[in-house]
Amino acid sequence: MSKILIRGAKVLGGEPQDVLIDGQTIAQVGVGLSADGAEVVEADGKVLLPGLVDLHTHLREPGREDSETVLTGTRAAASGGYTAVFAMANTFPVADTAGVVEQVYRLGQEHGYCDVQPIGAVTVGLEGTKLAELGAMHESAAGVTVFSDDGKCVDDAVIMRRALEYVKAFGGVVAQHAQEPRLTEGAQMNEGVVSAELGLGGWPAVAEESIIARDVLLAEHVGSRVHICHLSTAGSVEIVRWAKSRGIDVTAEVTPHHLLLTDELVRTYNPVYKVNPPLRTERDVMALREALADGTIDIVATDHAPHPHEDKDCEWAAAAMGMVGLETALSVVQQTMVETGLLDWAGVADRMSFKPARIGQAQGHGRPVSAGEPASLTLVDTAYRGAVDPAGFASRSRNTPYEGRELPGRVTHTWLRGKATLVDGKLA
């Protein structure tokens, strides 16, 4: 097996060190390391992180390969520094059986850019009326541990309770898309001053907060785990903070775009800013940043949602909801959390690798950068500054809200168990 010597990297943002990879594992971490015949990567003070883990990715395959495939999505993930992604279940067919989740899992293994862990649907067809084959998906080769109807809310309290009870048997978790459906009928954007001025249907904060409040109480009642997808309001933060103080086993994620963008951008009527949950207010953005910093929000997850050009280049009301995010997530986190002093790089590693791996039980990921650990690593040039050019994306889709915006940081190298998937910013 080949040896790779990463020279002078700031491991988790600390003092420069050398890291020697031998085969699939980290052999040594120290100063002044050498190894005969090793390929040398001069890190020059770049930051070395454990490979990033995304608990919330839409790969679209099977069924919408015009948007994304497992291959293009995992190439995008490798470009963004990810070594593992969890693929959401809202495909066609829906990932609600052992057969579909095994198909997605095996495609990830075949392509080799990134480990793909399928997320199983909570209910058959995402219809919210009958539990899917949760046990069969868990016992399949894909070993599903996370279940979600993302894109739709499990709004029936009895179904949600039964799902929480079921996954408890094998330590699984239900990831909830918190959206009370009746309160968001016809919603186009965040309900507030801007929606009133634009005359667009509002998506009120209480539609998210009421479901989160219900679900943390259900999780407490049955003694199970619940994870809140793309939390977006200051009120949701307060509910999760209260639930954790009470000892309820709840975790939560925030997307990069909810850490940076506000509903003021909707004034452009550019559908690239149309997303679910919607962009919120500046007050919400600040609350989300503080909650991610203090640990109330556990992780950053991309909600990478690729769409073909024709689904976004249309009038606002007809446009699909969602943004791509795998290739820009770390840059947004650097700008909003590191350069504001809210998190250091060890904190970024915690929120984007260690904790998401732990929540999703991603074996071999989210591990320390130390001898004997899997060599799944990400090298970041934090001094880089540049405008986002979606033409260079590895994703099949280009629906990014950051086109032309200058963002800091660039992933230069990604290794998956010692195999380079990104070298000098180019896919291997």
Specify binding-site residues. Answer: 56, 58-60, 90, 150, 177, 230, 276, 303, 307
Binding residue numbers for Zn(2+): 56, 58, 150, 177, 230, 303
Alpha-carbon distance of 97 to 95, in angstroms, equals 6
Cα-only R_g, the chain: 21
Q: Is 13 left (phi over 0), alpha (psi -120 to 50) or beta?
A: left
**Closest to 88 (Cα-Cα) out of 44, 144, 135:** 144
Active site residue 303: yes
- CA angle (303 as vertex; 250, 310 as ends), nearest 5: 155
The two tokens of residue 349 are 């590693």
DSSP 8-class letter at 414: E
Strand ranges for 100-234 from DSSP E: 115-118, 146-147, 173-176, 189-190, 202-203, 226-228
Identity of the amino acid at 389: D
Beta bridge partners of 226: 174, 250
| Active-site residue (options: 155, 303, 311, 381) | 303
**Is 175 in contact with 146 (CB distance < 8 Å)?**
yes
Centroid of chain to Cα 168:
23
Spatial distance between the Cα atoms of 364 and 361, rounded to a whole number of angstroms: 9
Among residues 326, 321, 385, 60, the alpha carbon closest in space to that of 190 is found at: 321
Bridge partners (DSSP) of residue 374 are 25
Binding residue ranges for substrate? 58-60, 90, 276, 307
- Residue 268's contacts (CB-CB under 8 Å, 6 or more residues apart) are none
Backbone angles phi, psi at 163, to 5 degrees: -65, -45
Phi, then psi, of 423 in degrees rounded to 5:
-130, 125
Which residue from 31, 20, 35, 39 is spatially nearest to 428, judged by alpha carbons? Answer: 39
Catalytic annotation, residues: 303
